[in-house]
Amino acid sequence: MRPVIGIVPLYDEEKQSYWMLPGYMQALEACLSIPVMLPLTQDKTELLYFIRECDGLLLPGGQDVDPALYGEARSDKCGVPCPARDTMEGILLDAAIRLDKPVLAICRGLQFLNAHTGGTLYQDLASEHPGVAHEMKPPYDRPVHRVTIERESPLYEIVGEQDYAVNSYHHQAVKDLSPILCAAATSEDGLVEAAWMPGKHFILGVQWHPEFAYKTDPASMRLFEAFVKAAKYP
């Protein structure tokens, strides 16, 4: 049986549409799983049904996380959040943690994972934490800076090396790490670029974009494979 992976939808406010970047689904399909884009809803009963039926949960990129989640007012450099998605992801993530379902969080996904579990975010890196370039131009399947991976983290087992080059497209990032997460990778300018939750089967977030690089970077593909394996063998 192929494991079913629920993916939180991306939302286009201007077009009032739900959508999905193909890389998320194609990478999961390449790992012999069945990706399913969930409907954008705040209905707790529906969401608990989805998380029970799915074998894993993927939190993708998207809008900025509402700073209210970590007790801050929204700055003029913070993007417009999607409150419905914040609520939806909070319900799904709480249930996934409780049921010990595998979670892979990418870009905004890592930011939400951190904010929802007690951490804070930089609302705008360029003004609050200038350093290496984190908003690259296309093509997105090439590395633009390096990260150092913690040997004690599950990410090291996946990537297989401490010094790893990643792509990068984000203007927010982890500021204060959640007390229930551990850093898995750090960028050259000191940002937490990956984090994981000890004591759980597989809860891991990365700031870079393996969905753009899985065809050209073997480690990106191994990340999806490890996630799908965790979903298949709970």
Give the catalytic positions in this structure: 107, 209, 211
Task: Sort strands 103-106 and 173-174 into parallel, antiparallel or unpaired.
Answer: unpaired
**Residue matched to tokens 């898995």:** 184
In Å, what is the CA distance from 39 to each residue of 47, 90, 178, 194, 195? 9, 15, 28, 27, 27
User: What is the total residue count of the chain?
Assistant: 234
Report whether 163 contacts 146 (CB < 8 A): yes
CB hemisphere CA count around 27 (13 angstroms): 29
Phi, psi of 51 (to 5 degrees): -70, -30
DSSP-derived secondary structure letter, 212: H
